[in-house]
């Protein structure tokens, strides 16, 4: 099976369709020994998923479920997936999470407009978060949602911002319920107790070590400046 390295994990998967073949290419990596993660579904599995989701093409179906297959395993490697647009700027990763249609990608593209090419979109939709030597990093992965914006790097996580639309821009640090509800809704919840406990342990560590914000934002460059100043200022 073709070999990849994603979020510092050795992965085996054999995509057949163009989207994942193309997006996976920068992640091809010839490791020796056993894979950490094997993503392998049967033809019957995909046929069933296509029946359940007639709006999907076989290409998109493979792309989505191979992504889920990979992300499900992350909790076993000190990590989790967060539905967010992730960017890297001046050595730190900043994540903007929200339900679909809120404007995550719009906000990260505002950073590019405002701060230029030093801003790199790590993964526009589903970054992998992993603790490497005790420090949370955000990683680009081949699975970046509707856009192909992702790069194969990992960057220490500087902050996570939960976005909502607002006429005026505002941002504040949040904790407790204000963090737990949105983050639990924007990650993949394992169906079994053992992996749920792993997810909660990883989330607990995330909440203890990474500043989390809530932001109301419009689509002006002021929004990017406010987010950047606040989140860079939140670093110790």
Partner 1 sequence: MKPKEGLLLRELDGTAIVVATGAAISEFSGLITLNQTGTFLWRRLEQGATEEELIAALLAEYEISEEIARKDVQAFVARAKDAGLLED
Q: Residues interacting with partner 1, by CB under 8 A?
A: 175-177, 179-181, 184-185, 189-193, 196-197, 200, 203-204, 207-208
CB of 192 to partner 1, least distance (A): 6
Q: CB-wise, 178 or 222, nearer to partner 1?
A: 178
Q: CB-wise, 204 or 229, nearer to partner 1?
A: 204
CB of 178 to partner 1, least distance (A): 10
DSSP conformation class of 150: B
CB of 185 to partner 1, least distance (A): 8
Q: CB-wise, 116 or 193, nearer to partner 1?
A: 193
CA separation for the pair 31, 11 (Å, rounded)? 9
Q: Which of 128, 142, 153, 147 is nearest to 63 (CA)?
A: 142
Cα distances from 48 to residues 18, 58, 66, 139, in angstroms, run 20, 11, 15, 31
Q: CB-wise, 132 or 207, nearer to partner 1?
A: 207
Residue 143 CB: number of other CB atoms within 10 A?
25
Q: Which residue has the tokens 């110790």?
A: 236
Residue 136 CB: number of other CB atoms within 10 A?
21
CB of 205 to partner 1, least distance (A): 9
């Amino acid at each position: 099976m073709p070999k990849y390295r994603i979020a510092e994990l050795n992965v085996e998967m054999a995509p057949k369709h163009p989207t994942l073949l193309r997006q996976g290419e920068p992640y091809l990596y010839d490791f020796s020994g056993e894979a950490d993660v094997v993503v392998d579904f049967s033809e019957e599995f995909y046929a069933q998923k296509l029946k359940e989701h007639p709006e999907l093409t076989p290409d998109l179906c493979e792309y989505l479920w191979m992504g889920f297959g990979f992300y499900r395993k992350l909790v076993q490697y000190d990590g989790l997936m967060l539905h967010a647009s992730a960017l890297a700027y001046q050595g730190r990763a900043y994540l903007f999470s929200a339900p679909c249609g809120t404007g995550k990608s719009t906000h990260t593209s505002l950073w590019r407009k405002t701060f230029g090419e030093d801003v790199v979109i790590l993964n526009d939709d589903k970054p992998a978060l992993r603790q490497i030597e005790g420090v949370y990093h955000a990683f680009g992965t081949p699975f970046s949602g509707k856009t192909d914006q992702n790069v194969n790097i990992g960057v220490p996580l500087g902050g996570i911002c939960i976005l909502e639309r607002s006429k005026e821009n505002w941002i504040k640090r949040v904790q407790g319920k204000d963090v737990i509800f949105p983050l639990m809704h924007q990650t993949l919840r394992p169906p079994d107790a053992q992996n749920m406990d792993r997810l909660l342990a990883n989330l607990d560590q995330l909440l203890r070590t990474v500043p989390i914000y809530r932001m109301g934002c419009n689509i002006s460059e002021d929004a990017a400046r406010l987010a950047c100043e606040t989140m860079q200022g939140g670093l110790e």
